Amino acid sequence: MKKTCLALLPLLLAISLYSQSGSFSIGIEGGNSLLIGDCKINQTQIKPMVGLRGNYYIMDNLSLNLSINYNQTYANNKYSEFYPIAIHSRYYIPLQSSIKPFGEIGFGSNFGISSTKNDGVIDNSFVLAGIGINVPITNNLALTLNSQFNYTNNDYYDNNSGSGFSENLKDGYLEAGVGIEVNLSSIFSDQKKETAQTKRKEKKTQPKPTVTDTIYKTKTKIKRDTIYRDTSMTTTGTVDKDSVLSLQQKLEEKDRTLQNYEDLLADHNNKINSLIKLLKQKNQKIKQLSEGKSTRNQTTQTTISPSKLPETANNAKQKIQQDRANSRSSGQENIRTQYKQTLQLIYNEKYESAIKNFDNLLEKYPNHKLAGNFIYWKGEAYFALRNYREAAENFTQLEQYPNSPKIDDALLMAGKCYKLIGRPTQARRKFQQLLDNHPNSEYAEQARALLSDL
């Protein structure tokens, strides 16, 4: 896969440079990448990403792209750095504005190294899908904002944890970046246009021969020919009356021909002047029609749209019922939004603000299905602040929610807190409770190891 992607790079450059129909652009981008797969999101970190991109526009709304990036990922204490090479196709959604949204799909290959205790070589393939927008800055320069997800064919980057969204998922990583693209074809075509315009200007600066100049040159040529003939006759000594008469007749014929040319040129000049007048009249008429059309459009826009007519009684009743259903669903969505925002505070290490937010959520929604999660993450915030007593109380409080998905995690963290504050009996009790009640938990092995140390 890597060799295929590398081999297509010079091919894409050659096609774009020699093609008469398409155009070619190159660009750079930078941003961040986040590992997403079967690992927990709190066990990953956002890492930097930079890359190069070449775009060949097959049509106005379709392009074939080749990208080479440098990425980093971190999950479960495993750090990796690698180079994704991808071929993908973009479709630009046609809009009236200059901004172009697009979607893209493609495939590629990763290669690199993993800098952990299990050092190894990364060599896998992936498929990708993404969205973004292209914002023109100048005729040859554009700003690109895009986000894409790359799904690999192995489970390597997170130590094969199998502890996140789904154990059946392979590893993937999300990329979000900002880039600049330069349209090379447009630059080359602009240079060609400038060269052609310069040549046209040089031609225009050269004075055009007038009708008088043309006639003068023709008469001069006739005189030169006549003098040459007379001189040759004189040197040969064969001048006679017939020759003189013949030359006079030829001169008269030439004069008549010149007069015909003068009449023909005058006629052409008259026709050209008539066409110029007619063109001015047409331009004036087009301007008048354009002004009339804009006036009609303004009149049309002032008419009342049928959509603004009052609703009937039945429609109003249906709308009220729909608003009630929407308010219930929006309430649930609002709680989830607040929960996600508070989790983000923890990720940003704003632990005190996160504790206040979780207290407010527990006060307002004590029976919500996410209440156990509120308590657990409140304990995690106290643990990060090294307030192990408050953290232990919150982790222990989670036992009031036996159906919470965080119960086994809370028992493990409670045992750790009691061990840190010097209460080994309580710590041993929590570790044993985890092993008895949740023997298949992903934390059972860790609890067993901690229990053996007490």
C-alpha to C-alpha distance for 167 and 184, rounded to whole angstroms: 46
Q: How far apart (Å, rounded) are the C-alpha atoms in residues 334 and 343?
A: 14
- pLDDT exceeds 50 at position 445: yes
Mean residue pLDDT of the chain comes to 76
Please answer whether residues 46 and 32 qualify as being in contact, where contact means their C-beta atoms are separated by less than 8 angstroms: yes
Report the pLDDT averaged over residues 61-90: 84
Band of the pLDDT at 416, cuts 50, 70, 90? very high
Does residue 117 have a pLDDT over 60? no
Contact, 451 vs 431, CB < 8 A? yes
* C-beta separation of 105 from 115 below 8 A: no
54-68, 227-241, 339-353, range with the lowest pLDDT: 227-241
Q: Torsions phi, psi of 68, nearest 5?
A: -130, 120
Residue 330: per-residue pLDDT = 58
- Which pLDDT band, with edges at 50, 70 and 90, does 23 fall under? confident
Reduce the DSSP state of residue 102 to 3 states and report it: strand
Exposure string of 125-140, with b = 16+ CB inside 10 Å and e = fewer, is ebbbebebebeeeeeb
Q: How far apart are CA 119 and CA 159, in angstroms?
A: 11
Tell me the residue type at 399: E
Q: What phi, psi does 117 have (nearest 5°)?
A: -65, -25
Asked if 75 and 158 count as a contact pair (C-beta separation under 8 A), the reply is: yes
DSSP 222: H
Report which of residues 220 and 277 the model is more confident about: 277
Taking a C-beta distance cutoff of 8 angstroms, is the pair 399, 410 a contact? yes
pLDDT at 116: 52
R_g of the chain computed on alpha carbons = 42
What fold, for 2-190? Answer: Porin (2.40.160)
DSSP 8-state secondary structure symbol assigned to residue 28: E
Q: Given this model, what pLDDT does residue 410 score?
A: 94
Q: Can you tell me the distance from the alpha carbon of 333 to that of 435, in angstroms, rounded to the nearest whole number?
A: 35
Angle CA 213–219–222, to nearest 5: 145
The ranges of the chain annotated as CATH 1.25.40.10 are 329-453
Tokens of 451: 């229990």
Q: For residue 87, give every residue at least 6 positions away whose Cβ sits within 8 Å of its Cβ, in sequence order, or none.
A: 5, 8, 64, 65, 66, 106, 107, 108
Sequence length of the chain is: 454
Task: Confirm or reject CATH 3.90.110.10 for domain 329-453, answering yes or no.
Answer: no
pTM for the full model?
0.39
Q: Higher confidence at residue 325 or residue 286? A: 286
Where in the sequence of the chain do the CATH 2.40.160.20 domains occur? 2-190
Average pLDDT (279-285) is 83
Mapped onto helix, strand or coil, the DSSP state of residue 391 is helix
CB-CB contact of 150 with 127 (8 Å) = yes
Q: Which of 138-142, 161-165, 224-228, 419-423 has the highest mean pLDDT?
A: 419-423
pLDDT digits (tens, 9 = 90+) for 234-275: 444 454 566 667 777 777 777 778 877 777 787 778 788 878
More confident residue, 76 or 119: 76
At what angle are helices 313-347 and 351-364 packed, to 10 degrees?
140
